[in-house]
């Protein structure tokens, strides 16, 4: 049986950086207080339980704001790749804990652009999901930010032609939506500056699974069923190839899926560790491949 991997899959640059940072800190072993990760480092239960084994506890932003948890100067807090809000940075600094900031560089650039634009007297229009932690974090650094999440919402927003604006986007914004808004803006306004730092990782993984699903008889999408980018990969794959299955690890493989299959495709969400993918490939080779004699 042939196993074909998607051209782009698995950890993105930001997630890999955050996990490497945690591993490095855990290896140092010279910390005295608690080791905390702010929110969920990544949406993957294997990664989360691995981090727990290494001594990390999860710290929720709500508990911090509501003072349900008391931090100690000796504690260490890691900020995840999506970043966090200004309010949380202020609390952590006030508590004088050791902070390791794993905010992805792409998120950081947008945050800096927002602060700079407001300093230069511009109004901010932000395109993205207002409930997403990345968006909540970035916009919290601004004073007067209008968030829109669709072309319709954008066109409904009344732009004051006397004022200067800066248009910013969430890193994972859908590129088609961005280009539609960009075209409309350039045609209709002279007073809106566009700053786009959409991260290619999500888009590349989606395009790659779309291609892969058309080239194989069955697709395995590996990742946590709570991870939104993994679910999106599954939906895209399923729309092209009916035999698409989302699994979290090798224990969820089903032998009946492999009946008569000669070519299987495999992809993984941006928060799925490489070890899990390798274990699945090994299981296919060792169990299902032999069993069906293909």
Q: Residue 234: enclosing H or E segment and its boundaries?
A: helix 228-240
For residue 6, which of 220, 288, 289, 294 has the smallest C-alpha distance? 220
Q: Residue 131: enclosing H or E segment and its boundaries?
A: none
CA distance 2 to 12: 25
Nearest residue (CB) to ligand F3S, 71 versus 173 = 173
Whether residue 134 lies in the annotated active site? yes
* Interface stretch with ligand F3S, choices 39-47, 51-59, 104-112, 215-223 (CB under 6 A): 104-112
Catalytic annotation, pick one of 87, 95, 118, 134: 134
Contacts with ligand F3S: how many residues (CB under 6 A)? 14
Which residues ranging from 162 to 221 are in contact with ligand F3S (CB under 6 A)? 171-172, 199, 201-202
State both tokens at 31. 């910390």
CB of 80 to ligand F3S, least distance (A): 9
Tell me, what DSSP letter sits at residue 70? -
CA distance 192 to 167: 7
- 104 belongs to the binding site for ligand F3S (CB under 6 A): yes
3-state secondary structure of 56: strand
State both tokens at 71. 């931090």
- 13 belongs to the binding site for ligand F3S (CB under 6 A): yes
Q: Residue 256: enclosing H or E segment and its boundaries?
A: none
- 25 belongs to the binding site for ligand F3S (CB under 6 A): no
CB-based closest residue to ligand F3S: 14
CB of 177 to ligand F3S, least distance (A): 17
Residues labelled catalytic? 134
Per CB under 6 A, residues contacting ligand F3S are: 12-15, 81, 104, 106-107, 171-172, 199, 201-202, 270
């Amino acid at each position: 049986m042939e196993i074909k991997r998607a051209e782009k899959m698995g950890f993105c640059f930001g997630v890999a950086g955050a996990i490497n940072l945690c591993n490095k800190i855990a290896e140092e072993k010279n910390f005295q207080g608690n080791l905390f990760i702010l929110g969920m480092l990544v949406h993957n239960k294997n990664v989360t339980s691995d981090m727990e084994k290494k001594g990390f506890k999860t710290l929720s932003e709500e508990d911090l704001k509501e003072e349900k948890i008391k931090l100690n100067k000796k504690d260490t807090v890691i900020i995840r790749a999506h970043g966090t809000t200004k309010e949380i940075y202020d609390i952590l600094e006030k508590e004088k804990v050791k902070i390791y900031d794993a905010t992805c560089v792409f998120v950081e650039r947008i945050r800096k652009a927002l602060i700079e634009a407001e300093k230069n007297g511009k109004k901010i229009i932000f395109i993205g999901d207002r409930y997403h932690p990345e968006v909540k974090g970035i916009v919290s650094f601004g004073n007067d930010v209008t968030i829109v999440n669709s072309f319709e919402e954008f066109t409904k927003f009344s732009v004051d032609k006397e004022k200067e604006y800066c248009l910013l986007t969430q890193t994972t914004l859908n590129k088609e939506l961005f280009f539609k808004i960009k075209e409309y803006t350039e045609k209709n306004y002279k007073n809106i500056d566009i700053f786009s730092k959409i991260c290619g990782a999500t888009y590349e993984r989606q395009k790659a699974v779309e291609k892969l699903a058309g080239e194989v008889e069955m697709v395995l999408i590996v990742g946590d069923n709570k991870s939104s980018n993994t679910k999106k990969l599954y939906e895209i794959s399923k729309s092209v190839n009916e035999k698409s299955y989302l699994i979290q690890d090798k224990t969820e493989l089903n032998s009946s899926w492999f009946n008569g299959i000669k070519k299987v495709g495999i992809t993984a969400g941006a928060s799925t560790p490489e070890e899990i993918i390798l274990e699945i490939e090994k299981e296919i080779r060792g169990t299902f491949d032999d069993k069906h004699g293909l």
